[in-house]
């Protein structure tokens, strides 16, 4: 729970420095069409509008649905039953806490299935998802099992709440920090390969150009990998991930298959911006600060919420875990605008860096336009949606910045 909370904060802030915002693709068959002559974006077509409005609605519905799931868990007294059953069978409190977490996480994973499936069907209906329902379900199962890594941390948190009832949040934060940083470091080498195959970018003209660009950009010894994302999606993307020795730039194979060489170089230039400016690192630092604030608030929130549940003995009682999950979900939702604005600032920096180092303003704009045409990126998202959840500046703004003052575009 706590690790998930911190990791989500960190991940929102930094880990996924993707090039595109909320985007997907229209048709995988439209490979490598020529760059459009007019570098402008018309208003969204009805289908693009409908797709984006559906994804926004799904996001907010998901938050409400997950909160409801926790209330149902408490209402059905599953928290008391599970606590008592574990108490009878296991003597060690840490083991009981870890197993309680596994049980509650299983409940939330199952509860999330119907809405998750609607999200999957939406992606399929618009032609973006290429994976079948079996693979979709297997992915969900893998995510559940991977999430169990958090169990020891949750057990440690409950131990700390019991022995340090006033300052537990600070102690938990100290335990959390190494988890966050080690997690960010090992994620690309331990977790990502469970879902995709990563191979070095093949030798050739593109690789030579990227290596030259890396030297120019001041990137030394960067690992550039290709992920076989086409087995799951037709969307385009690239991102920077990892920390220290595991730092790398990842390009999706869909991007390689679809964009022109100049457009790919333009996008890699943007990713090199994240790399050189150490955005993953700064995202983690921001995530750590945010985690401390949220843990402090969490302590107050859980104590207040527990007044409504007299049958739960206190924050140290395992039966309080769904209440804590509930509070964490609200806190994560409320901090979303802060994380999103932090991320947007980083994305603007990376855009500026990419344009400076590549000089490929037109190709950058053309790649962004491809996100609208092919991936249904919202050309005119509502201001509130941008403020609340956009990790990237709206695509129209990015296109305008790319074309502004470009020697190449004049």
Phi, psi at 241, each rounded to 5°: -145, 175
- Taking CB atoms, the residue at the shortest distance from Zn ion is 17
Instruction: Determine the Cα angle at 151 with ends 148 and 155, to 5°.
Output: 175
* Cα–Cα dist 213/220, whole Å: 11
* Cα–Cα dist 60/119, whole Å: 12
Residues 254-283 that bind Zn ion (CB under 5 A): none
Residue 6 Cβ, how far from Zn ion at the closest point, in Å? 22
Residue 43 Cβ, how far from Zn ion at the closest point, in Å? 25
* Total residues in contact with Zn ion, by rule CB under 5 A: 3
Q: For residue 219, count other CB atoms closer than 10 A to its CB.
A: 21
Of positions 17, 250, 295, 340, contacts Zn ion by CB under 5 A: 17
Our finding on whether 238 is near Zn ion (CB under 5 A) is no
* Cα–Cα dist 157/237, whole Å: 37
Our finding on whether 350 is near Zn ion (CB under 5 A) is yes
- C-alpha neighbours within 13 Å on the C-beta side of residue 377: 30
Closest CA to 374 of 143, 41, 121, 14: 41
Residue 75 Cβ, how far from Zn ion at the closest point, in Å? 42
Residue 341 Cβ, how far from Zn ion at the closest point, in Å? 15
Residue 335 Cβ, how far from Zn ion at the closest point, in Å? 20
Residue 220 Cβ, how far from Zn ion at the closest point, in Å? 20
Q: For residue 204, count other CB atoms closer than 10 A to its CB.
A: 9
Q: Which is nearer to Zn ion, 17 or 185 (CB)?
A: 17
The contact mask relative to Zn ion for 319-348 (x = CB under 5 A, - = no) is ----------------------------x-
Q: Which is nearer to Zn ion, 317 or 351 (CB)?
A: 351
Q: Which is nearer to Zn ion, 263 or 299 (CB)?
A: 263
Sign of CA dihedral 17, 23, 24, 29: negative
Residues 121-160 that bind Zn ion (CB under 5 A): none
Strand partners, 250: 225, 239
By CB under 5 A, which span of 16-24, 110-118, 171-179, 215-223 interacts with Zn ion? Answer: 16-24
Interface residues with Zn ion (CB under 5 A)? 17, 347, 350
């Amino acid at each position: 729970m706590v690790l998930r909370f911190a990791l989500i904060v960190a991940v929102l802030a930094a880990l996924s420095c993707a090039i595109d915002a909320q985007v997907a693709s229209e048709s995988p068959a439209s490979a490598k069409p020529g760059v459009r002559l007019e570098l402008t974006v018309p208003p969204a077509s009805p289908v693009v509008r409908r797709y984006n409005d559906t994804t926004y609605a799904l996001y907010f519905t998901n938050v409400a649905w997950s909160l409801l799931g926790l209330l149902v868990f408490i209402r059905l007294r599953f928290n008391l039953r599970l606590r008592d059953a574990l108490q009878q069978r296991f003597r060690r409190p840490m083991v009981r806490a870890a197993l309680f977490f596994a049980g509650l996480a299983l409940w939330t994973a199952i509860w999330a299935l119907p809405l998750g499936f609607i999200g999957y069907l939406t992606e399929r209906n618009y032609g973006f998802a290429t994976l079948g329902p079996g693979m979709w379900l297997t992915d969900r199962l893998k995510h559940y099992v991977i999430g169990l890594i958090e169990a020891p941390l949750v057990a440690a948190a409950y131990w700390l709440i019991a022995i340090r009832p006033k300052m537990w949040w600070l102690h938990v934060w100290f335990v959390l920090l190494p988890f966050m940083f080690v997690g960010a470091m090992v994620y690309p080498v331990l977790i990502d390969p469970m879902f995709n195959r990563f191979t070095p970018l093949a030798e050739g003209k593109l690789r030579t150009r990227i290596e030259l660009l890396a030297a120019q950009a001041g990137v030394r010894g960067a690992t550039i990998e290709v992920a076989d994302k086409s087995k799951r999606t037709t969307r385009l993307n690239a991102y920077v991930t990892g920390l220290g020795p595991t730092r790398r730039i990842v390009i999706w194979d869909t991007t390689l298959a679809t964009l022109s060489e100049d457009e790919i170089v333009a996008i890699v230039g943007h990713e090199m911006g994240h790399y050189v400016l150490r955005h993953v690192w700064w995202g983690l630092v921001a995530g750590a600060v945010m985690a401390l604030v949220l843990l402090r608030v969490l302590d107050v929130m859980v104590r207040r919420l527990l007044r409504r549940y007299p049958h739960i003995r206190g924050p140290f009682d395992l039966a309080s875990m769904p209440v804590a999950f509930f509070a964490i979900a609200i806190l994560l939702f409320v901090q979303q605008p802060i994380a999103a604005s932090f991320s947007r600032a980083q994305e603007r920096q990376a855009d500026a860096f990419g344009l400076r180092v590549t000089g490929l303003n037109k190709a950058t704009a053309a790649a962004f336009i491809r996100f609208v045409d092919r991936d249904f990126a919202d050309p005119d998202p509502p201001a509130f949606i941008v403020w609340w959840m956009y990790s990237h500046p709206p695509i129209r703004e990015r296109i305008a910045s790319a074309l502004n003052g470009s020697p190449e575009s004049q």
